[in-house]
Copies of this chain bind each other. A is one copy, B any other.
Amino acid sequence: MKTLIIVSHPEEDSSMVQQFLKAGADTLKNVDRYHLESTNKPWSVSDEQNKLKEYDRLIFQFPMYWYSAPHTLKKWIDVVFTHSFYKKELSGKELGIVVSMGVSESEFEVGKSESFTLSELFRPFEALANKCHMTFLPIFPISLFVYKTDLEQKRVLVEYQRYLTMPNQSTFQAKEQWFVERLEALEIKGEYGELLMMAIEEIKTNRQHLDDLNLALKEMKSD
């Protein structure tokens, strides 16, 4: 599966969260990244459309400005998603949203300061995905990133990497598998490497126990 991140941010270089996400995405295979405001000439519609064809998952990544995306992303959508293109070339792909916000996620709720949920506010993107016969992924919100602890930020990074690369609606087993593969790919040597190997073995052994238990449960039910 190939993923393309389409970033819209007027000041990407000075955005701590964007730089952090960039570092996280750069280590991943089959993930490419594209910053809209960095292109200094008008987009070629056919070039943009051809680029999108290569990918299975598209991610719109941006800071929330007035309950939506910055205008540059909207401009890009209006230009690139032509009738003849979206009707046949986007069907079956996935569309995700990574949105950074200066307000806590818990405020997006009736009776709170932002009144509406993110699901409600991003209906236009959901409607776009529907129209293009794309699968709309769960929204990935990152709120108040700069106030998070190191550990919290690292957790965001791992979740973000999963969001970019893992199949949608994965089972617990698939998530486990994803982690084992990621850990093995680290190829850390020495003392930490051995610790890591032990952790991986532990996860695999747990999985065997779980599988055995599930099998036993299944047999009991069929009796």
| Chain A residues proximal to chain B, CB less than 8 Å | 65-72, 74-75, 77-78, 81, 114-116, 120-121, 123-124, 126-128, 130-131
Q: Are A74 and B77 in contact (CB under 8 A)?
A: no
A87 to chain B, nearest CB (A): 13
Q: Copies of this chain, how many?
A: 2
Residue of B66, B70, B127, B128 touching A124 (CB-CB under 8 A)? B66
Which residues on B sit within 8 Å (CB–CB) of A75?
Answer: 71
Alpha-carbon distance A74/B70, docked complex (angstroms)? 7
Q: Which of chain B's residues has its CB closest to A10's CB?
A: B78
A16: shortest Cβ distance to chain B, in Å?
20
- Is B68 a contact partner of A74 (Cβ separation < 8 A)? yes
Q: Are B65 and A71 in contact (CB under 8 A)?
A: no
Min CB gap A102→B, angstroms:
11
Contact of A78 among B70, B116, B120 (CB under 8 A): B70
Tell whether, in the assembled complex, residue B123 and residue A116 are in contact, meaning their CB atoms are under 8 Å apart: yes
Q: Which residue of B lies closest to A125 (CB)?
A: B67
Nearest-neighbor residue (CB-CB) of A113 within chain B = B131
Q: What are 7 A-B pairs at a CB distance below 8 A?
A: A65-B78, A66-B81, A66-B124, A70-B74, A114-B127, A115-B130, A121-B127
Q: Which residues of B contact A121 (CB under 8 A)?
A: 123-124, 127
Residues in chain B near residue A72, CB distance under 8 A: 71
B67 and A78 contacting across the interface, CB-CB below 8 Å: no
